[in-house]
Amino acid sequence: MTLFVVATPIGNLEDLSPRARRVLGEVDLVVAEDTRRTRELLTHFSLSRPLFSLPAFAERDRVSPLVERLRSGQSLALVTDAGTPAVSDPGAKLVDAALDAGVAVVPIPGPSAAVAALSASGLDSSRFLFLGFLPRKGDARRAALGEVARSGVTAILYEAGNRTGETLADLSRALGPRRAAVARELTKVHEEVVRGPLPELAERFAAGARGEVVIVVEGGREPSPEAEALPPLDEAIRERLAAGEHVGDIAKALARDYRLPRQEVYARVLALKDASHPP
């Protein structure tokens, strides 16, 4: 009665660990994001196990029968199309339900696109913020960009190849010339990691990028001791907005007071202004 959370290769099949291969060959059922992709993986390693589909759009509805299997004493392996399940991929609801049912949940660690990109980015890896895929548009996207702008730690984002240029342009506008890395097709034949300031990367990938993409962005500068004594940035912004000050003037003044990049503060001022005046 165990749910194994099994990380699978993000490209190079040699990255499947011996332990993961053993578990996939021993469990009663393999729960897959896409059974076609997982069947190819199992066939490559001469493994033959029953498969159960658990795509993101149907995860909530398909969890109950899987939990019943676990309660009956079966062992299941949860996999995604590539990388670690439940990390910006389906699986989190099954893990939660299994834990609620008293089932043992055992991670079988392995490939992760986020960690692989971070390790090759050349940016600070001592602390990082993983945001997965940014919201596509609107207030939610602006708020997420503001979160990246305010973060003092390295940020890691996932993006589809055809939206990479747009996202880099938005990051460049919100964060200015921070250093970043664009990692695409990690562990595959056409693997590429491009490093540079955000404006340069936005220009290079303006037409998009081929394949799966991870964007790693350096964190903002730590606030000065003087800034530590100031009220929280959001509070200061809201006070100035309430007083009717212009967005640009607020950004300029608070960037100076808090010793933060002006682009970061400007993005946060816009986000709070939009939040206070919903459409």
The string of pLDDT tens digits covering residues 91-140 is: 999 999 999 999 999 999 999 999 999 999 999 999 999 999 999 888 88
- In the numeric block, which tokens belong to residue 236? 């200061």
d(C-alpha 84, C-alpha 118), whole Å = 15
246: buried, middle or exposed (CB in 10 Å: 19+, 13-18, 0-12)? exposed
Kindly tell me if the per-residue pLDDT of 229 is higher than 80. no
Q: How far separated are the first and last CA of the chain, in Å rounded?
A: 50
Q: At 119, list the tokens.
A: 């390790």
> What is the model's pLDDT at position 231?
76
pTM for the predicted model, two decimal places: 0.77
pLDDT at 105: 97
Amino acid 85 reads P
What ranges do the domains of the chain cover? Answer: 2-111, 114-217, 225-276
Q: Indicate if the pLDDT at residue 195 is higher than 50.
A: yes
Q: Which tokens is 41 given?
A: 């993986």
Pick the CATH number of 114-217 from 3.30.1130.10, 1.10.4010.10, 3.30.950.10, 3.40.710.10: 3.30.950.10
Instruction: Give the other-Cβ count within 10 Å of 131's Cβ.
Output: 20
Task: Kindly indicate whether the domain formed by 2-111 is annotated with CATH number 3.40.1010.10.
Answer: yes
